[in-house]
Amino acid sequence: EWENPALDLASSFTGRLDESTRGTLGKLVRSRTGNRERIGETDRESMFDADDAVVHNWPGVHDGRPLQRAWDLMNAVAEGMPRHEFERELFGLCAQQFGWAREMLEHPVSIAGVHVHTLDAAGHAYADDEAALGRAYDRVGEYVEEIVAALGEDDDLLVVSDHGMRAAFYPPDAGEKPASHSWRAYASSTTETAPESVYDVRRWVEERAAESGASASGGDEGIDMPTDRLRELGYLD
């Protein structure tokens, strides 16, 4: 979406062009007009509309600006930004997103969803450098492990991707363009099952959320309120 109605109209026609043509057109418009697109947000109902569900940086649903920042970093590193700077910024975003997810475990929420763009950006930047891409996967893996270690008894974690990345050094990608998207999507969970397809994700999540019964509506069971102590300190009348 663009702030400018003419650009908005034009972009409704360019949606069928391939990704790199749209990227080039977008860049041209940005540099010529100073307008910056933003990631639109849908009005459609989603699993994050459920009671006590929370969502963070989920493109199309909540605040897509960190995704745009990751895209900008990806372009900047292709144009010569030093790798240490790229990684510092990219993992800074990554840390905020995993940190948010980690914090949500301390609150009575039913579903918490967060989008992390690190591996797509690293996959574009390091499609010809196995060691560098490996380090990015390891770092994201450490964040995932921290979440798993912090899960409560009734909590489950689902990690899904909407696509994979083609790499120059990965034998099944021979003859394909490195740094492009593959159709190898990924799903893994802390339960016995994982969604079979993207169309199955919502049902899968909602079933598990219902089973665990996690909800804030039962009151403040998640917060132990030492009222006498608070009164002593003068925070309560």
Positions that interact with Zn ion (CB under 5 A): 120
Which lies closer to Zn ion via its Cβ, residue 35 or residue 75?
Answer: 75
CB of 167 to Zn ion, least distance (A): 13
Which lies closer to Zn ion via its Cβ, residue 125 or residue 147?
Answer: 125
Which lies closer to Zn ion via its Cβ, residue 23 or residue 141?
Answer: 23
CB of 139 to Zn ion, least distance (A): 18
CB of 229 to Zn ion, least distance (A): 51
Coil, strand, or helix at residue 101?
helix
CB of 117 to Zn ion, least distance (A): 8
The angle at the Cα of 183, spanning 85 to 49, to the nearest 5 degrees, equals 80
CB of 128 to Zn ion, least distance (A): 15
Closest CA to 98 of 60, 52, 66, 133: 66
Work out the number of other CB atoms within 10 angstroms of the CB of residue 173.
Answer: 18
Which lies closer to Zn ion via its Cβ, residue 117 or residue 208?
Answer: 117
**Contact of 115 with 104, CB cutoff 8 Å:** no
Cβ-proximal residue to Zn ion, closest one: 120
Give me the DSSP letters along 183-237.
S---EEESSS---SSGGGHHHHHHHHHHHHT--STT-STT----HHHHHHTTS--
Work out the number of other CB atoms within 10 angstroms of the CB of residue 165.
Answer: 22
Which lies closer to Zn ion via its Cβ, residue 83 or residue 107?
Answer: 83
